Amino acid sequence: MKKKHYVLMTVAMLVIMIGMAGKHYADNIIIWGGEDNISTINDNLDKLNTSLSTKDQQIAQLTTRTATNQTQLDQAIKDRDTYKQQADTLKSERDQLASDKTSLTAQLNGKDSELAAKQNEIQTKLAEIEQKNQEIQRLNTEMNAKVDAANQKVNELQATYDSLNTKLNQAMSDKTAVEAELATTKQKLTEATQENTNLRAYIDKLEKAKADVKTTADKSQQIVDQHK
C-alpha cells in the first residue's frame, strides 16, 4: 500500500511539474516537450488499474474462503452440541443406574428373609449395573474429550474466520483508497492535458509572431539596402 501511495504522490508531483515547466518554457519560447511525462502518467494509471483489479480478485478469494470457513464453523458448533447432548444422556443413564443400585442395595439390606433366595440375582444385577456404570463412565470420558476437541476446533475456526474478515476489510479499505487516488490523478491529468493544449496554442502564436517580426525586419533591411 505504501508503494502505491508513493507512486501516486510521484504522479501528482509530475503533473504539477509539467504545468510549471510548461509555463516556463512558453515564457522563454521553448518548444514543449512534456509528451514523455504524459506517457509516464498514463503508464502509471494503467498500473493503478491493474492493482485495482488485483484487489478485486483478492476480495473475491477472501469472500469465498470466509464463506467456506463459516460453513465449517457452523458444522463444528453443531457437532459440539451433539456431543454435549450425548454426554448429558449418558449422565442421565448413569444417574438412573446409580439410583437403581441404591434401590437394590436398600432391598438387599431390608429383606433379610428373601436374602438367601435373591442374593445371587441381586449380586448379578449389581455386577451388571457396575459394568454398565463403568461403560458409561468410559463413554462419558470419550464424549468429554470429543466436546473439548470440538471446542478447540470451534475456537480455531473462529480465529481463522476473524482473520479472514480482517483481511477482507483491509482489502476493501485498500480498494477504496486506490479508487480515490486514481480519480484524483485522472482529474489532475485532465487539467494538465488542457494546460498543455493551451500552452501549445500560445507557443504557436509566439512562433508566428517571431516569424512575422523576422519577415518585417528582412523587408526593412531590403528597403534600406535599396536606398543606400
Structurally, the chain folds into a number of domains equal to 1
Q: For residue 183, give the amino acid letter.
A: A
32: left (phi over 0), alpha (psi -120 to 50) or beta: beta
pTM above 0.75, yes or no: no
End-to-end CA distance of the chain: 76
Q: Please state whether 142 falls in left (phi above 0), alpha (psi between -120 and 50) or beta.
A: alpha
pLDDT band at 155 (very low <50, low <70, confident <90, very high): very high
Give the length of the chain: 228
CB atoms within 10 A of CB 104: 17
Residues 6+ apart with CB under 8 A from 191: 15, 19
3-state secondary structure of 31: coil
Digit-coded pLDDT (tens) for 69-126: 888 888 888 888 888 888 888 888 888 988 888 887 777 676 666 666 677 887 888 8
Q: Is the dihedral angle over the CA atoms 169, 172, 178, 181 positive or is it negative?
A: negative
| Residue 84 DSSP symbol | H
Q: State pLDDT tens for residues 164-221.
A: 999 989 989 888 888 888 888 888 888 878 888 888 888 888 888 788 777 777 776 7
For the domain that residue 26 is a member of, what is the CATH number? 1.10.287.2610
* pLDDT in the model for residue 112: 65
pLDDT in tens, 25-69: 444 444 445 556 777 777 777 788 788 888 888 888 888 888 888
CA dihedral 71, 73, 79, 85 (to 10 degrees): -120
For 129, the domain range is 2-226
Cα angle 32-36-38, degrees, rounded to a multiple of 5: 90
